Structure 1
């Protein structure tokens, strides 16, 4: 299949020059432009429709590509994005991927098929094939990446410092006298999970404590798996005196499991969550958690996307928003 790289080789120019001939021919000398165009005409190559021409074919729709569109964390993010989208004449379509790459690409293809104008990406994979030698902004539609960050340079991205947030939470548990702290982690392939796990280990090392891998279990952001992880942690010969769950929903499943098993929270064991979803203040006991600014995440995503929708170039940015430790009733001093 003929692509930009093959065109460049045959025309004796760089892939970037081919890209400029397609998108900004006035920036290329007449001689080079003619050479490239001759190869394009001969091969019948059709440029990727995600380029400039696509940006001019407005649908006034945006697509948010999200691993779990109905999670309590994502709801405030989506609501904030939708509010700003509507204010600016756009409707917001939700693409619930269930962490499947095929679905991510299918929803992203809505832009190339002119069903949407831009993408709000909450997945850790770029749903397009790109040529590394060409600037990312020349190959992608308007797009912002948030929360689960894609490891490529050039995208505007919005997140919190997950590593620092987890470290702050564990340091708080350490300040209460807990030295054996269990973890219920999310998906181990998730960038946010990796960062939170690193922050947990940072705090233990800084306190002079060894890392016990038996204290780390996986709930995969699911309620049933979090229940199972809680039971495994508490069956250890030396069970933890505190558990740090990487989401509030997993923390609530953890608390429910502990209570069913006869433990008192926080008298017997403390539980720390992550996110500060709306239910965190209303469970029993109310949940100590690390708050993410969910509405601000959605707002900033739209603020970065709107200029692109107006035709301005994509600009690489990494916006890091503040996190906050919210202390409630689910944590207390270690039992002596």
Structure 2
């Protein structure tokens, strides 16, 4: 990646590296994030996602390479960049001593917002987060999903140009995750550029326009979710579960699909036509106790690239 990024590129990294003594957390990565898009960093714990976010957020210095955020150098212009960012950390760090509304108002003061502006923004954001009826309550009374929505609302108090979300839905139940996805989609429609880290494949598919798959500090694939699936795996996957004699059965399915992946509890057959492949399985005399034909996902992409699952 060479040359100066265009004005439409809000984050630009070239051979970006982060080391902690003997550990290389981010190993010479290149990427650019365009204005208005949702860009994801997908990978297992320890892949380097959070280290990347800390450098972009101007709270961790770059070890090597080039990083530009909003056209500026974090090493020289960190405070100016941070004033234009919104940050949602992995762990909620809300103030339990004050009310839901006061969490927003206090945060607004950190950015020097006039009191009237802070009150107006707080009211708007409480409605956006569906927390208007909780405004006067203590943060301790909120559920995990509500706290996460409040953390996102708080990150928006300064009307940031870029929103950084580090594992935004970790620990939430499925319903709370979907509500949070709806809020993030609304922000995207408002033109807010979002960078997020996740190890949830469905989350990346739902939210990201483009993403990078990371492993051991390196980027192993880049593209839109659909492009990555098309490039690195087949259209469908046939999942088979066998009972007794599984080892023999697994040997007999080799060659029936473009690729066969043997997992501890099932066998995956990567194929363009799952039903046709299942007929082939039956044709060689095998009767799995369970079978499932599904479309390929980003998890399959990761298995293809690294040979292991996303969540360590």
Normalized against structure 2, the TM-score is what?
Answer: 0.28
Point out the structure with the larger strand share: 2
User: Higher Cα Rg: structure 1 or 2?
Assistant: 1
Point out the structure with the larger helix share: 1
Normalized against structure 1, the TM-score is what?
Answer: 0.27
Using CA pairs below 8 Å that are at least 6 residues apart, which structure has the higher relative contact order? 2
